[in-house]
Structure 1
Amino acid sequence: MCDERLKEFSRQRLGGRPVPEDVRLLATAQWEGHGHPFEQFGITVLEPSAPHPLTDFSYLSDKERADPDIMANCAASEQMATYLKAVAQDEDGSFYGYWLHPQQRLDRQPPPVVKVDSELTYWELGGRTFSEACLYDIAFDDDELFAEVAAALGKLHVSVSAGSREGLDELPADPAPEDVHRRLYYAERERLGLPAES
């Protein structure tokens, strides 16, 4: 059951790329009802068939849909979804995903993980894996919390490469997602005949 779900996850969420081992372990624990440490912070692995958070505009009113500036931003978000592969979402509407822009060099390192909040702010997270990035995000400067969650991850056979948030590697997202979104947004505004500045 989980194997088929993971294949679908790979296809729908990651564009056919293999599911990273830590994501596989987290997703399996969640789907089998065992839970994983990030659930206590409201972070859950997305279902394979869930809409990409950057392409779900069901919350927009008719008035908002008639606003060309809002629709330019929606169009930019839809294009961003091709570069940012959503893996998990939290209860505040933020989501976490792999940055896979074609200009991002992935030959020597794994893809960076980026968090996008409900205001479409892009946060580049530390860590070399999805789990480390989530740990980086929730631990802040709390070394005790970091160690506690890292130990809980260890019970799922998810390894963490450092003993504190400061020890995690930082993988730069290049080009920066915020800059890419801005360029796409202004290009859409121009396409719609809107002035350069909103």
Structure 2
Amino acid sequence: MGSERGSSVFDERLKEFSLKRLGGRPVPEDVRLLATAQWEGHGHPFEQFGITILEPSAQHPLIDTSCLSEKERVDPDIMANCAASEQMAMYLKAVAQDEDGNFYGYWLHPQQQKDQQPPPVIKVDTELTYWELGGHTFSEACLYDIAFDDDELFVKVAAELARLHISIPVSSREDLAELSADPAPEDMHRRLYYAERERLGLPSQR
């Protein structure tokens, strides 16, 4: 009942989340349930692993350059990488972030199969490495990431998700579907980075 009440209380916030975090696409049901549980203060199972749903107005992690020093800001190679990251933010819609600064988002590049719903979930670490996660839903992808080969942990967190009415239909990480990101985010970022280096007149690194 709490989540049903919360959904009406947070309707405007969810609309803003859809607009600012997902480019106007509908908020997937499991993300809605996780977000409303977090906003209500009840919490959700992924918070114990430091993973929280981003606020609608939060800056996209790929365009956050607040950690750069003045020296880094005048380094053309670093700025080429920042420009590539900013372009990647158009395709990778950030949904959640963990306490170490890694974030999770939907890969929505135009080349991605239009009939693949929901799209693949990608984890990006603080070194700008893109990890393609298994699972058909955001919750399955997070579970895929945190469970590793620990089936007991997988089942435990799946049971906690069930209490939020988020169903995980399998009992281990290896049973989750593997979705293919097209093009691979790592390759896409590299291409954009090389293009930015070329635009800035830097020598080719290919």
| TM-score with structure 2 setting the length | 0.95
Aligned to 2:204: 196
Q: Structure 1 residue 178: deviation in Å?
A: 0.1
Q: Structure 1 residue 65: deviation in Å?
A: 0.2
Matched, 1:4 2:29: no
Aligned to 2:138: 130
Q: Structure 1 residue 102: deviation in Å?
A: 0.3
DSSP-derived class of the 1:27 partner: helix
Identity of aligned residues (%): 82
Residues 121-169 of structure 1 deviation map (CA, whole Å, 9 limit, x = unaligned): 0000000000000000000000000000000000000011211101100
Residues in 2 aligned to 1:99 and 1:23: alpha-carbon distance in whole angstroms: 15
Structure 2 unaligned residues grouped into runs of 5+: 1-8
Residues in 2 aligned to 1:161 and 1:119: alpha-carbon distance in whole angstroms: 33
AA aligned to 2:71 is K
Extract structure 1 runs of 4+ deviating beyond 3 A: none
Residues in 2 aligned to 1:6 and 1:110: alpha-carbon distance in whole angstroms: 18
AA aligned to 2:101 is G
Residues in 2 aligned to 1:188 and 1:36: alpha-carbon distance in whole angstroms: 40
Aligned to 1:162: 170
Residues in 1 aligned to 2:48 and 2:54: alpha-carbon distance in whole angstroms: 16
Question: What is the RMSD of the two structures over their aligned residues, measured on CA atoms?
Answer: 0.9
Residues in 2 aligned to 1:7 and 1:193: alpha-carbon distance in whole angstroms: 42
Q: Structure 1 residue 197: deviation in Å?
A: 1.3
Matched, 1:65 2:83: no
* Residue of structure 1 aligned with 2:128, choices 114, 120, 131: 120
Q: Structure 1 residue 22: deviation in Å?
A: 0.1
Residues 154-191 of structure 1 deviation map (CA, whole Å, 9 limit, x = unaligned): 00000112111011001010110000000000000000
* Residue of structure 2 aligned with 1:40, choices 21, 40, 48: 48
Matched, 1:187 2:195: yes
Q: 1:60 to 1:153 in 2, by over 3 A?
A: same
Matched, 1:173 2:181: yes
